[in-house]
Amino acid sequence: MFSFATYSYPKTESFKEISVSSAAAGILIYLFLIIFQPFGTDSFRHQYKYLLLFPYSLIFGIAFMTADLAAIRFKDWNVGSELLKATGILFLASILSYFYNIFFISHVTISFSNYLYMFLYCLAVGIPISTIYILSRYIYLKKIHEKKAEQVSVYLSGNPGTADRKATKTLFISSNNIELQISEKHFVCAQSMENYCSVYFYENEKITKTVLRISLYHLLNQIQTDSVKKCHRSYIVNLDKVKKIQGNAQGYKLSLSEIDLEIPVSRSFISSIIPQLRSSIS
């Protein structure tokens, strides 16, 4: 159960997608109320009954949108975070629905017991709608990740990269008594292993691996350029050596030429790494 909660969930920063999905969730709430008419709604008699029910759609839509906009501020997101967000949505919607109900519909006295009833009503209506919302957004955003990865991979496969077209820089690496000088266009990637780093680079037209006693942080400070970037807490990669990118709801993985190693891209680096891969070959 807990391992499932840590499973990555795709997150969007698109205001358009958030607006549309929130509006859709609100509409589903309204359709649920007018079709099934739960909790005594069927016995509620009023000339403008369906008009009075419509604000519940707006309330839930606002709650979904508010939670999604707040979630943008967080870099890492998983199933547990999404479930926690859904719980917050139901709490916010229940509070807003409670005050709307007592002021515009039932005119009952403000009390905790009355709010508790409203909270239970919102749970009964909101849980199935939230389930549909979470699953449908997961599928949609997963496809967005995969489509973006496929587009970039097509660009990469049809372009040789920019390494040979740029002015060549020399990367100087100093670790204990070891000094390395590697041309930027020959550097491939580096992988962290606690206090050591494995550095992959071309030497005599072949991939060479060298293990150095140095942290990834200090290595990055020595070799970072416009193309050599950190993309994960354990990896530095030369973006000019990326030949393929695969993506899904958990993020992206980079495939490099002539090396059997898939390099993950952390969520916190997606916004900088993926656009640069696109621009470098456009």
pLDDT in tens, 133-159: 999 998 888 888 777 777 777 766 666
What pLDDT, in 10s, does the model give residues 63-97?
999 999 998 888 778 888 999 999 999 999 999 99
| C-alpha–C-alpha distance, residues 122 and 150, integer Å | 40
Q: Is 101 exposed, middle or buried (0-12, 13-18, 19+ CB in 10 A)?
A: buried
What is the pLDDT averaged over residues 46-72?
93
110 exposed, middle or buried (CB, 10 Å; 0-12, 13-18, 19+)?
Answer: exposed
What six digits make up the tokens of 132?
A: 């549909």
171-196 pLDDT, tens digit per residue, is: 999 988 889 999 999 999 999 998 89
Q: What is the DSSP letter of 10?
A: -
Q: What is the pLDDT of residue 3?
A: 61
Written as one letter, the residue type at 186 is H
H or E, element range at 96: helix 79-104
pTM for the structure as a whole: 0.68
Residue 152: strand, helix, or coil: helix
pLDDT of 1 reads 47
- Show the CA angle centred on residue 207, arms to residues 246 and 201, nearest 5°: 80
pLDDT tens for residues 90-136? Answer: 999 999 999 999 999 888 889 999 999 999 999 999 999 999 999 99
What local confidence, expressed as pLDDT, does residue 177 receive?
84
